[in-house]
Chain A
Amino acid sequence: MIGPFLGVLFDGIAYGMLLFLLSVGLSVTLGMMNFVNLAHCAFAMVGGYTTVTLMHVFGWPFVWTLPMAFLTAAAVSVIFERTLYRPLYRASELDQVLLTIGIAFVSVAVAAWFFGTVQQPIQMPPYLRGSVSAFGISFGVYRLFLIAVALAIALLLIVTLEFTRFGATVRASVDNQRMARGLGIDVDRTFAITFALGSGLAGLGGALAIEIVGLDPSFAFTYLVYVLIVVAVGGLGSIGGSLIAATLIGISDVAGKYYVPETGAFLIYLVMIVVLMWRPAGLFARR
């Protein structure tokens, strides 16, 4: 009884860490600029396909492709930020929603054109395969690796945000954009860097997700809903909030699918609606 329960808990936490990587960038950029970016998971997909291409075409080992997934997604997002997003910062949220849905549609079609609509399987290196046993439960090595990477990144982000000068400008811009501008902070530049970092992290998440949830062109929309739920529940601009919300959503999704499979994704949507009605700005909103 307790064995399967701990197994579900472990899988849920691993899944939650994945959701955290995918959503943390969106949470910070949304908190700063109020820009509703529904193409966020399209950038994650860029990272995923970078890893697939590097492994299949160039024969790179999996771990080495991860930094490239981060860099490619960040670079692509900078191009979009400069050309399409920038003119719409002051536009209505409807315009932002439509523009970014448009970009996501295009990304799905482009991915289908180059890679086909099939799943992209990748071969894990031997040291990330298999599982280790402890306390009578077996833990998948890859999931342990995923949790370690996500926690390291979360720690790095929190330290950067709390203890560096750049982090201080980010926090100031999220808390009060006008006042930050008044103090001479270049909010637009801060935002551009944060946006690239966030998209890069999404790209990394996309690459790490292949082994857990697979990769096909519909990724840009399938996980968008989960990412938005994490952001909305965690509260805008809060890294700790995103981490806790992602873990919560990850565990309830895996537990829901394991214990009450007939409800499907129903449970997640219900959790989101209830949380939003109770705390409209999310559980850990900075504002």
Chain B
Amino acid sequence: MAMTASTPSTDPHAWLRRQTRWHPVEIAFWLATLLPFFLFPNYLVLASQIAITALFALSLDLILGYAGIVSLGHAAFFGLGAYASGILSKHGWGEPLTGLLFGAAVAGIVGYATSFIIARFRHLTLIMLTLGFGLLLFELANKAHWLTGGADGLQGVKIWPIFGRIQFDLWGYTAYSYALIVLFVLFLVCRRLIHSPFGLALRGIRENSVRMPAIGAPSAAHIRKIYTISAAIAGVAGALLTQTTETVALEVLSFARSADTAVMLVLGGAGMLYGGLIGSIIFMIARDQFSGIAPQYWYFWIGILLIVVVMFLPNGILGGLSTLLARWRKP
């Protein structure tokens, strides 16, 4: 899709504008997201979970796929958003939209504060720092029982109807519509961002962070910006989870969530905007279908899948498809 870039023409603005044009496959994809309402009305709760996970994977794609920051602790921001909106509603303000904004703001502020550290390091040190921050926050939430409920989870979250009239129902009708709209709006934001000169600069930083400042793109400043944006979007995803389930479990901050999301992203294809969405759809449906088998065996298949994707599908499912398509077009 966007990544199957043709050779840039002489006018960079025309090239950028051409990249932003909507492909029919994209339109078909978003129309297909409406299918669960008609075809699988019993699975709308699952569909809302998928939309939330997809939003989180999208936020990870911004830093991992585009800026090349390998993070093993991105669930920290998901969890921050989830706890922030949950605690806000527990203390008497359950309005959903401001709840989302509050989750985004808390995650974004923490993201901005840590981005100064993130932008300074690379390689193993960076992986360890993101891992360390994630684990640190998990331990904090675990110990701060008075605030978060610790291992018992946060109880007493009460979300008001959206706009004061649309109630959250038991079948997930509202939950899925709400999550899907938020996902779509933020997807548009990300799409705009990626196809801007700023987005191009990010890809340059991913390829070579030392050379980019030489052509006028300050690497550290760009990394700080995208890390903050990504953290805020992850916070929105976390807040969405809180609002649609009306509880917060400690699991939102866990390493497993960070790792699972990275798996989804790589499975779908990192750095392709749709990779995280496709990956989370496949991952979540598979997990739902195989929920009968014990979790440790479920991870056996995840492990095999990871090995296969890394060895044979370096750009994930979408990358494999676009290679096939390119070969089919030019025999």
Residues of A within 8 A of B (CB): 30, 34, 36, 84, 87-88, 91, 93-95, 97-99, 101-110, 112-113, 117, 217, 225, 228-229, 231-232, 236, 262-266, 269-270, 272-273, 276-277, 280-281
Contact = CB atoms under 8 A, between A and B. Distances in A.
Contacts of B286: none
B127 A36 contact: yes
B296 A93 contact: no
B266 A99 contact: no
User: Which among A84, A93, A102, A229 has the greatest number of chain B C-beta atoms within 10 A?
Assistant: A102
B296 A102 contact: no
A98 B306 CA distance: 6
Contacts of B296: 108-109, 112, 117, 217
B130 to A, nearest CB: 10
Nearest to B72: A97
A107 B72 CA distance: 20
B109 interface: no
B307 A84 contact: yes
Which 6 A/B pairs are nearest by Cβ-Cβ distance? A102-B306, A105-B303, A109-B300, A106-B303, A102-B303, A112-B296
22 contacts: A93-B70, A93-B123, A97-B70, A98-B263, A105-B299, A105-B303, A106-B303, A106-B304, A107-B303, A108-B296, A112-B297, A113-B300, A232-B128, A265-B139, A266-B140, A272-B128, A272-B132, A273-B129, A273-B132, A273-B136, A277-B129, A281-B125
Given A93-B70, A99-B310, A106-B303, A113 B132 contact: no
Contacts of B304: 102, 106
Interface of B: 64, 70, 72, 117, 120-121, 123-125, 127-129, 131-133, 135-136, 139-140, 142-143, 259, 262-263, 266, 270, 294, 296-297, 299-300, 302-307, 309-311, 314
B70 A105 contact: no
A103 B270 CA distance: 20
A93 B131 CA distance: 15
A257 to B, nearest CB: 13
A34 B132 contact: no
Given A112-B297, A232-B125, A102 B305 contact: yes
Contacts of B124: 30, 34, 36, 93, 231-232, 236
Contacts of A273: 129, 132-133, 136
Nearest to B309: A98
Nearest to B297: A109
Q: Report whether over half of chain A's contact residues are helix, strand or loop; otherwise say mixed.
A: helix
A277 B114 CA distance: 12
Contact of B307 (A103, A110, A225, A272): A103
B72 to A, nearest CB: 7
A98 B140 CA distance: 27
A263 B259 CA distance: 25
A229 B125 CA distance: 10
B306 A105 contact: yes
A228 B128 contact: yes
B299 A109 contact: yes
B302 A280 contact: no
Contacts of B72: 97
B238 to A, nearest CB: 21
Nearest to B70: A94
Nearest to A217: B296
Contacts of A107: 303
